[in-house]
Amino acid sequence: MSHPAPRTVGDASEAEVLELVFAALQGTSRAVVGPGDDAAVLAVPGERMVVTTDTLVHGPDFRLAWSSPHDLGVKSAAVNLADVAAMGARPTALFVALTLPDETPLAFVSEFAAGLREGCDILAPGCAVEGGDLTVSDTLTIAVTAVGVLEGRAPVLRSGARPGDVVAVTGELGAAARGLALLFDRFTDEDGAPVPVDADTLTAAERDDLAAQLRPQPPVALGVAAAEAGASAMMDVSDGLLLDAGRLARASGVTVALAGEWSDEALRGGEDHALLATFPPDAALPSGFRAVGRVEPRGEDSVTVAGLADAGPGGWDPYRDWDARRG
């Protein structure tokens, strides 16, 4: 007995697609005016807000053969919530623009929206999707704008680190890079094209690494905790510790001296979405942060690593590295 083919975005109207999204997000809005009007209205009297935007494109940023729609929704929320947290702000709203190929199954839309909702609920309770846009293209593209409030705190910038400060990070660095390497090493065909993941072939450690890559869980709440503890500088580690620590060091006019032993994945991988922060030497580190080095006066290098004579370049640069992931 044959079954009718699932309906796709190309079979539906924009209104039908939006109904799927709204149904998945039902009841999550905390805005004065939420999704469905020309713009959302947020009640933030006397507040300073932070706003950030990130784009995920099929190909360089994710592959549908590897990512479920739900996981992709979680990741789309997570990577933006981490940027808000890195400013010391509390996330309050996401605005999501979806560019969908005609052949996209309608089920993808509702599952993706459910993933967005879960990402907000788990990582930033009280934050919700408050609007966005839909359009059509041959390439699936997800653009998310995240909004957060500072609640009277000063924003924590990249430029505030001072010599003598303690350098600290959250979480395990390198897991997402290991997960990505696993995908390219074990789940591609002979031509290098991605194939679905066979979870039964994975060890528990490999499943953890894949989860770090496909549905990251950044420590969003620790952004506010770091700000309240007096963090002098902070940023999201999304492009690898070397590259991001170098950005913080150059913005602050200092050198970040990393102590201890580091794997190459931790130094040069990416997409961990941990938090890198500096704290005055007399500050108590919030629970979840661990000290990994010191801030020194600006030297020849923006970042030094104990035991490495030359740390060299590292990190994910989409303009430099995209060709290496094409296929």
Binding residues: 38, 52-54, 61, 83, 132-133, 158, 236, 238-239, 271, 316
What's the distance, CA 89 to chain centroid?
Answer: 15
CB atoms within 10 A of CB 54: 17
Are 281 and 168 spatial neighbours (Cβ–Cβ below 8 Å)? no
Are 216 and 75 spatial neighbours (Cβ–Cβ below 8 Å)? yes
Report d(CA 327, CA 323) in Å as an integer.
Answer: 9
Q: Specify binding-site residues for substrate.
A: 61, 271, 316
Are 132 and 44 spatial neighbours (Cβ–Cβ below 8 Å)? no
Report d(CA 179, CA 181) in Å as an integer.
Answer: 5
Q: Specify binding-site residues for ATP.
A: 132-133, 158, 238
Report d(CA 192, CA 95) in Å as an integer.
Answer: 34
Are 236 and 218 spatial neighbours (Cβ–Cβ below 8 Å)? yes
Q: Is the dihedral angle over the CA atoms 228, 229, 233, 239 positive or is it negative?
A: negative
From the list 131, 319, 160, the residue with the least C-alpha distance to 234 is: 160
Q: Specify binding-site residues for Mg(2+).
A: 38, 52-54, 83, 133, 236, 239
Amino acid making up residue 95: F
- Pairing verdict, β 303-305 and 254-258: parallel
